[in-house]
Amino acid sequence: MGNDYVISEIERNHIQSLLEQKKRTDGRDLSEFREVTIETGYVQKAEGSAVVSIGDTRIIVGIKAILGTPFPDTPDSGVITTSCELSPLASPYFETGPPSVAAIELARVTDRAIRESHAIDLSKLCMVPGKLVWILFIDMYVLNDGGNLFDAAALGAMAALATTKIRKVKIVSEEPLEKEILEELEPLKIDHHTVSVTSYKIGNFNIFDPNSKEDKISDARITFGFDEQDRIVSMQKGKLGVYTPEEIKTQVRECLNVSKTLRKELMKAIPK
């Protein structure tokens, strides 16, 4: 995901020359995805979880819910906080230590699509305004970086949230605050099943779902979040390359078409 990826000019030129013939190193079309698989309920001790694979890219997402105090400026809203860990086991280009810029970016882009689509009504996570709300931690762990982490992370986060169940809470007294956490579980209500799609630009060509090498040599990428009503809920441009206004319009249309296929995979993975 960084710019420090080392790849030979010969290999870079080979990838670009294939693109000029509308071909890719693994034989796919420019807009063709690798196989997408989504498995929910993977982590038994989490409130919700999912493992997503896109080709050899693999990400696990877990949801942890704890009771806490709301932010002062949103006293009647629950809280969502998203984090990502890029383990050195997933790629030789990831390092141990504090979250890297790449990890922070991946978490923020994933968080923004969920938040701005209002996938979850945060007011429903409020138990006592100003005093007690549910805080949802979306923790993402990249198990293998085979390219296109952004789309995989978005699918994993949404699938994990859609299968999340949290304890019911009985408020005994608001002043002083007394509560009782019940054994009964309640499914987290999902208002919108958001999907993110990322287009990657290599030279004059735009591709979807890049493999690891295509991802690393790409000049730019742009990620759009869509809800099920085909509304754009988020947009994030990454890397140093540029897009013209016309290119962005074209990528919106192409990403929207791809989102319909990814949403079908998402909905298939969520237990009815």
pLDDT score at 6: 61
Which pLDDT score is estimated for 3? 42
Residue 64: CB atoms within 10 A of its CB come to: 17
Q: What is the mean pLDDT of residues 185-196?
A: 97
- For residue 99, the SS3 value is coil
Residue 256 in contact with residue 226, Cβ under 8 Å? yes
pLDDT band with cut points at 50, 70 and 90 for residue 4: very low
Q: Which residue, 195, 201, 192, is CA-closest to 258?
A: 195
Geometric angle at alpha carbon 69, from 132 and 168, rounded to 5°: 35
Query: Which CATH architecture describes the domain 27-269?
Result: 2-Layer Sandwich (3.30)
How many Cβ atoms are within 10 Å of 91's Cβ, its own excluded? 19
3-class SS of residue 166: strand
Q: List pLDDT tens digits, range 223-271.
A: 999 999 999 999 999 999 999 999 999 999 999 999 999 999 999 999 8
> Looking at residues 4-9, what average pLDDT do you find?
64
State the pLDDT at residue 13. Answer: 86
**According to the model, what pLDDT value does residue 5 have?**
55
> 88-91: long-range contacts (C-beta < 8 A, 24 or more apart)?
89/143, 90/142, 90/143, 90/144, 90/145, 91/142, 91/144, 91/145, 91/212
Model pLDDT for residues 67-117, shown as the tens digit of each residue: 999 999 999 999 999 999 998 999 988 988 888 999 999 999 999 999 999
First CA to last CA across the chain, in angstroms? 36
CB-facing half-sphere around the CA of 187: CA atoms within 13 A: 10
Q: 135-147: per-residue pLDDT in tens?
A: 999 999 999 999 9
pLDDT one-digit tens code per residue, 142-174: 999 999 999 999 999 999 999 999 999 999 999
**Spatial distance between the Cα atoms of 134 and 85, rounded to a whole number of angstroms:** 23
Mean pLDDT of all residues in 193-200: 98
**With bands split at pLDDT 50, 70 and 90, how would you rate the model's confidence at 55?**
very high
DSSP string, 188-248: PP-S---EEEEEEEETTEEEES--HHHHHH-SEEEEEEE-TT--EEEEEEESS----HHHH
> What is the residue type of 121?
D
Judged by average pLDDT, the poorest of 55-59, 178-182, 228-232, 250-254 is: 178-182
Provide the residue ranges of all domains of the chain, joining segments of one domain with +: 27-269
This prediction has a pTM of 0.93
